[in-house]
Amino acid sequence: MQSLIGTGVALVTPFNKDFSVDTEALQRIVNFCVDGGIEYLVILGTTAENATLSADEKELVITTVVAANKKRLPLVLGVGGNNTAEVVKELKTRDLSAFEAILSVSPYYSKPTQEGIYQHYKAIAEASPIPIILYNVPGRTSSNMLPKTVLRLANDFDNIVAIKEAAGDLVQAMQILKNKPAHFLVISGDDMIALPMVLAGGAGVISVIGQGFPKEFSEMIRLGLNRKVNEAFKIQYVLDECIDMIFEQGNPAGIKEVFQCLGIADNTVRLPLVKVEEDLSQRIEKFLKKNI
The pLDDT of residue 177? 98
The confidence score (pLDDT) of residue 292 equals: 79
Averaged over successive runs of 10 residues, the pLDDT of the chain (292 residues) comes to: 95 98 98 98 96 97 98 98 97 96 96 98 98 97 97 98 97 98 97 98 98 98 98 98 97 98 98 98 97 84
Of 13, 24, 105, 110, which is closest to residue 67 (Cα–Cα)?
24
- Confirm whether 241 is domain-assigned: no
Q: Is residue 51 part of a domain?
A: yes
In a domain, 85, yes or no: yes
Question: Strand ranges (DSSP E) for 90-131?
Answer: 101-105
**Amino acid at residue number 2:** Q
Alpha-carbon span 177 to 180, nearest angstrom: 6
Residue 265 lies in a domain: no
**Residue 74 domain-assigned (yes or no):** yes
How many residues belong to the chain?
Answer: 292
Numbers of helices and strands, H then E, in the chain:
12, 8
Instruction: Residue 199: give its domain's CATH number.
Output: 3.20.20.70
Residue 237 annotated among the catalytic residues of the structure: no
Backbone phi, then psi, for 9, in 5-degree steps?
A: -125, 140
Of 25, 17, 82, 41, residue with least CA distance to 258: 25
Task: Count structural domains, the chain.
Answer: 1
Nearest to 275 by CA among 259, 290, 288, 262: 259
- Domain membership of residue 208 (yes or no) is yes
What pLDDT is recorded for position 1? 84
Rg over alpha carbons for the chain, rounded to the nearest Å, is 18
On whether the CB atoms of residues 75 and 43 are closer than 8 A, the answer is yes
Q: How many CB atoms lie within 10 A of CB 83?
A: 13
User: Has residue 268 been placed in a domain?
Assistant: no
Its domain, for residue 54, covers 2-228
DSSP letters along 236-281, please? HHHHHHHHHHHHHT-TTHHHHHHHHHHTSS-----TT--PPPHHHH
Name the catalytic one among 135, 180, 256, 275: 135
Q: Indicate which residue of 164, 180, 256, 275 is catalytic.
A: 164
Which long-range CB contacts under 8 A does 190-199 form with residues at least 24 apart? 190/166, 191/217, 191/243, 192/240, 192/243, 192/244, 193/168, 194/221, 195/220, 195/221, 195/224, 195/232, 195/233, 195/236, 196/170, 197/165, 197/170, 197/173, 198/224, 198/225, 199/224, 199/227, 199/229, 199/232
Is 86 a member of any domain?
yes
Q: How many CB atoms lie within 10 A of CB 114?
A: 15
To the query of whether residue 109 is one of the catalytic residues in this protein, the response is: no
258 Cβ contact list (under 8 Å, min separation 6):
209, 212, 213, 242, 246, 284, 288
Cβ neighbors of 202 (< 8 A, separation 6 or more) are: 173, 177, 185, 186, 187, 188, 194
